[in-house]
Structure 1
Amino acid sequence: MSLNLTRAQRLDELPYTRKHNKLLLGSGLGWALDAMDIGLISFIMAALAAEWGLGSGELSLLGSIGFVGMAIGASLGGLLADKIGRRQVFALTLLIYGIATGVSALSTGLAMLVVLRFIVGLGLGAELPVASTLVSEYAPRRIRGRVVVALESFWAVGWLAAATIGFFVVPNENGWRWALALGAIPAAYALFVRFGLPESVRFLESRGRHAEAEEAVREFEDAAGVTVDDRDKAPDGEVAAAAKVTRRELFGERFRTRTIALWLVWFGINFSYYGAFIWLPTLLFEGGMTLVRSFEFTLYMTLAQLPGYLVAAILIEVWGRRPTLVTFLGGSVVGALAFGMAPGIAESLAPGNASAAFAITLAAGCTLSFFNLGAWGALYAITPEVYPTAVRASGAGAATAFGRIAAMAAPLLVPVIVGAAGRPTLFVVLGLMFALAMVAAWFLPEYTDKALEEA
């Protein structure tokens, strides 16, 4: 290694090793469990509509209340992660939402379930920006974007698990209760996160905990075969002096443009994604599909997320973060419009043919799923790179929290839009929100193959 590298620079120059893999898999499993929990509620809504006789207003409340908690949790979690550490908050949030989800299985009515979903949301909202920040701060500079997209791809694994549980478990007697009981797994997994994953080196240095930071870096260097003689580093003082940015500066002259752009991207993509996917099984059921058939449709759409992440992971280091994000958001616009028009297209091409209608609608849905989730991967790669170390987690958390306002509003507005103007209009609205995010993404900074800012 070159002389006088900071610890962050030493991490940046390392090859990808088994230690990185352990961090990615450990964080990714937590991410997948998050997705499974959020995904399950879309299937449970459809089941409870039949079992409890819930109307669209009650279902909207159930679908959106978790995002109220997520908006609060994302903001508080980011602040806490910059105060007490990424790993501590990651483990705490897993514990909170795992316990709350397990208890949800015992719900005796809508009110109890709504309160517990709010608590679940607090934990979920806090975890996601913290996990992506931790992984981003350890990933080698050359492939940092690809590693974060790989982390985000665990979302598809979790949503696929939710779709599988929704298909095989939820339709059975008390199936939704068993599904929620499975959501208690993160509470146990929190112990592994607390003791099995490293704390952020950049966070440790910002708190003057240089011995712990050095130990963490050396563990990754040992995994890469770096010898003692290779460990040339800058003095502790040079590293610690960098972090002097405060959270109030997110809207100061330096960061204002990127903050507004980032918040708009998060708002647009949240509105469209959760507006479509939270209500999808219920909309399909109300459109004439059986409950099981609607769950099967959603399962197939979920499978299309995996290649979307794969292509985004490849392109993000070839094209760059911003072009990849803009391209996938543009594809999401096309997918949303195609999905909204699919029934009309099917009727014009094959009138009265239910199989053709299913196939055409599924193709449009898979297009939406492919591009939408690829865009999510690119967004999570960009978000931790926008701000320096001192406000990285809180800045990411604030953007995530703003996005959760859209995630909260979308499930409430979906039945209103469908009732007033029909399902095709709903997907035009969702396409317009993707377009808003696409335009805003052009104003984000580009950090492909660049070191993360320290100050």
Structure 2
Amino acid sequence: MDIISRLEQIPISRFHYKLLILTGLGWMFDAMDTGIIAFVLPVLANEWGLSAAQMGYVGSIGLLGMAIGAVLSGLAADKFGRKMVFSVTLIIYSIATGLCGVAWNYESLLVFRFLVGFGLGGELPVAATLMTEYSPPASRGRFIVLLESFWGLGWLVAAFISYLVIPRYGWQMAFYIGALPALYVFFIRLAVPESVRYLIDKGRQVEAGKIVAMLEQAAGIRPSTQPVATAKPESRQQVKRTLTFGELWTNRFAKRTIMLWLLWFGIVYSYYGIFTWLPSLMVKQGYTVLKTFEYVLIMTLAQLPGYFSAAYLVDRIGRKATLSIYLTLSAVSAYFFGQGGNAAVVLVWGSLMSFFNLGAWGVVYTYTPELYPTRIRAFGSGWAAAVGRFGGILAPTVVGYMVINPQGFAHVFTMFTGIMLAIAGIVWLLGEETRGRTLDEISK
């Protein structure tokens, strides 16, 4: 039996949950940083006298860094390994987050936010790729959605930091706390193995065989005593080939690439347009900063059951159905949230919007790496994420100009309703189902 077949037959064990937690904590730290800037912006706007357009640029510059980081890290991860790139990008964004705390003016903050985005954009697709390549086929969707659920935990941490720290110690302290994840790299280096599929793709069969034998032993399976098979001639040729952008547009992958790029652009546009601005938009609606933080904290709590429900459905009704349904219901919730009302109405629709939008995100990170083979999995995922980040670059700036209008709040959320309905239709029409299939079957 070859190494990949042995890997896929290993039942869910302590290792899978350990890897989920280790990669998930990195994911949580990413979200914590993204959330902190959303809560810091209304405070900075008051302290530095920032215009709505300048606030939008702060969100957009980080997403520009994420776009560049996603492409370069995807290329690096397919060339140098998932584990190394995961560690390096974590260090970059942690240090850059700490530097945001010493920003002396608007321009310096923009520079540091770009570096933060570069690290964040690099880590996310690589972490998802690593978890995808170790997850058993029958439960792969559930594991990746659970990985994405750590994003909700990170936003909760950001909300608590902002609620408890910023009013007492200032916005700088929130950024200093955001630098602490750099210390976490030491745990990653010791506890996270390199991807078995990556090692095999690079012709490092012996290393891959040792890792699989270790996992078999930990799961109570007797490790194979047969010699590790050497790479097939096709595999040796693939090792020597250079990754090219054009490979994403061959007949084999073009439809998948189009669907993923449109999906990523739309969901990132809506997410960053809504959630980067959410605290500031609520302040503009007349809520105090402290009350806004409380409401956003409640809405953030709704993200967690959104993830867990998507994790339950994604391996039962499939990627396409779950994603299309959650995007549609997020669109409906966004529309009614934009109509305003009393505090109870705002909280209900805001929580539902958060529930369905973040549940959809979990499926996006499940679906994307499944659609490319090992040798270009991180590269293809990185490009999809990068295209999405350009949606995120555009959205905060567009919202910044729209909210100047007296009816801007309602118009903003009507726009996001249309965007999410459009991408739900695109997924339904162009997507292909991957539920229950092995990665090798999908990539054929």
In the alignment of these two chains, the number of paired residues is 436
Of 406, 411, 423, 1:425 maps to 411
Of 189, 210, 213, 1:215 maps to 210
Report the residue type matching 2:198 in the other structure.
F
Q: Which runs of 5+ in 2 are unaligned?
A: none
Of 82, 88, 92, 2:84 maps to 88
Deviation string 1:334-385 (CA, Å, 9 cap, x unpaired) is 11111112x2xx3xxxxxxxxxx00001100011000000000011100110
Deviation string 1:197-256 (CA, Å, 9 cap, x unpaired) is 01011111111111111111112111111113x566872223835847754211111111
Q: Which runs of 5+ in 1 are unaligned?
A: 347-356
- The alpha carbon displacement at 1:445 in A equals 2.2
CA contact under 8 A between 1:94 and 1:127: conserved in structure 2? yes
- The alpha carbon displacement at 1:257 in A equals 0.8
CA contact under 8 A between 2:327 and 2:357: conserved in structure 1? yes
Percent identity, please.
46
What is the rounded CA distance, in whole Å, between the counterparts of 1:247 and 1:220 in structure 2? 35
CA contact under 8 A between 1:246 and 1:391: conserved in structure 2? no
Structure 1 position 177 matched with structure 2 position 172: yes
CA contact under 8 A between 1:47 and 1:171: conserved in structure 2? no
CA contact under 8 A between 2:306 and 2:358: conserved in structure 1? yes
Partner of 2:316: 318
Q: Which moved more, 1:400-409 or 1:181-190?
A: 181-190
| Cα 1:103/1:294, change in 2 over 3 Å | same
What is the rounded CA distance, in whole Å, between the counterparts of 1:9 and 1:441 in structure 2? 30
CA contact under 8 A between 1:265 and 1:436: conserved in structure 2? no
Of 377, 386, 390, 1:392 maps to 377
Report the residue type matching 1:180 in the other structure.
F
What is the rounded CA distance, in whole Å, between the counterparts of 1:198 and 1:436 in structure 2? 39
Name the SS of the counterpart of 1:172 in structure 2.
helix
Q: Which moved more, 1:49-58 or 1:281-290?
A: 49-58
Name the SS of the counterpart of 2:168 in structure 1.
coil
Aligned-pair Cα RMSD in Å: 1.5
Deviation string 1:74-97 (CA, Å, 9 cap, x unpaired) is 011100000000000000000001
Name the SS of the counterpart of 1:419 in structure 2.
coil
- The alpha carbon displacement at 1:194 in A equals 2.2
| Cα 1:233/1:314, change in 2 over 3 Å | farther
TM-score by length of 1: 0.93
CA contact under 8 A between 2:39 and 2:279: conserved in structure 1? yes
CA contact under 8 A between 1:316 and 1:324: conserved in structure 2? yes
Deviation string 1:89-136 (CA, Å, 9 cap, x unpaired) is 000000001111112111111111110110011000000000000000
- The alpha carbon displacement at 1:8 in A equals 2.0
- The alpha carbon displacement at 1:25 in A equals 0.5
CA contact under 8 A between 1:130 and 1:393: conserved in structure 2? yes
Of 222, 229, 233, 1:235 maps to 229
Structure 1 position 441 matched with structure 2 position 441: no
| Cα 1:216/1:415, change in 2 over 3 Å | same
CA contact under 8 A between 1:11 and 1:139: conserved in structure 2? no
Report the residue type matching 1:94 in the other structure.
L
Q: Which moved more, 1:55-64 or 1:22-31?
A: 55-64
What is the rounded CA distance, in whole Å, between the counterparts of 1:290 and 1:232 in structure 2? 68
What is the rounded CA distance, in whole Å, between the counterparts of 1:90 and 1:397 in structure 2? 13
Deviation string 1:421-455 (CA, Å, 9 cap, x unpaired) is 52111101111111122122121221111110366
Partner of 1:74: 70
What is the rounded CA distance, in whole Å, between the counterparts of 1:7 and 1:436 in structure 2? 42
Alignment of 1:132-143 (within 5 A): 132-143=128-139
Deviation string 1:382-417 (CA, Å, 9 cap, x unpaired) is 011010011000000000000000111111110212
Partner of 1:307: 305
Name the SS of the counterpart of 1:445 in structure 2.
coil
Alignment of 1:185-204 (within 5 A): 185-204=180-199
Alignment of 1:84-123 (within 5 A): 84-123=80-119
Report the residue type matching 2:168 in the other structure.
N
Name the SS of the counterpart of 1:372 in structure 2.
helix
Report the residue type matching 2:229 in the other structure.
P
What is the rounded CA distance, in whole Å, between the counterparts of 2:23 and 2:148 in structure 1? 10
What is the rounded CA distance, in whole Å, between the counterparts of 2:421 and 2:403 in structure 1? 20
Q: Which moved more, 1:287-296 or 1:192-201?
A: 192-201
Partner of 1:354: none
Partner of 2:326: 328
Report the residue type matching 2:375 in the other structure.
A
| Cα 1:231/1:312, change in 2 over 3 Å | farther
Partner of 1:352: none
Report the residue type matching 1:205 in the other structure.
I
Report the residue type matching 1:236 in the other structure.
T
Partner of 1:452: 439
Q: Which moved more, 1:433-442 or 1:144-153?
A: 433-442
Structure 1 position 381 matched with structure 2 position 366: yes
Structure 1 position 406 matched with structure 2 position 401: no
What is the rounded CA distance, in whole Å, between the counterparts of 2:236 and 2:323 in structure 1? 34
